[in-house]
């Protein structure tokens, strides 16, 4: 699942819970699902590692190389 989808689902669940007329069972189910989605999103935010690479074509093949440009020294 994509972050965006999870976020949308989470918002939908929150809205449904807000309407208040759900039976307890369903309410608890939704709550649990919402909390799971929130954790999923949080994990998703941290899962990518910072990496800057440069895409080069050598002959017919594409290769990723580490890019050495250091931004902090330029500023």
CB of 52 to other proteins, least distance (A): 5
Cβ atoms 48, 34 nearer than 8 A: no
Q: Is residue 24 within the footprint of other proteins (CB under 8 A)? A: yes
Q: Is residue 17 within the footprint of other proteins (CB under 8 A)? A: yes
Using DSSP's 3-state secondary structure scheme, residue 61 falls into strand
d(CA 28, CA 18): 13
d(CA 34, CA 13): 6
Contact positions toward other proteins, by CB under 8 A? 2-4, 7, 10-11, 13-14, 17-18, 20, 22, 24, 27-28, 31, 34-35, 38, 41-42, 44-46, 48-57, 62, 64, 67, 69, 71, 74-75
């Amino acid at each position: 699942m994509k972050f965006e989808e999870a976020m949308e689902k989470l918002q939908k669940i929150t809205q449904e819970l807000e309407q208040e007329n759900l039976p307890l069972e369903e309410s608890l189910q939704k709550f649990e699902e919402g909390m799971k989605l929130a954790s999923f999103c949080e994990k998703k935010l941290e899962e990518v590692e910072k990496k800057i690479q440069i895409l080069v074509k050598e002959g017919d093949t594409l290769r990723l190389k580490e890019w050495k440009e250091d931004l902090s020294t330029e500023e």
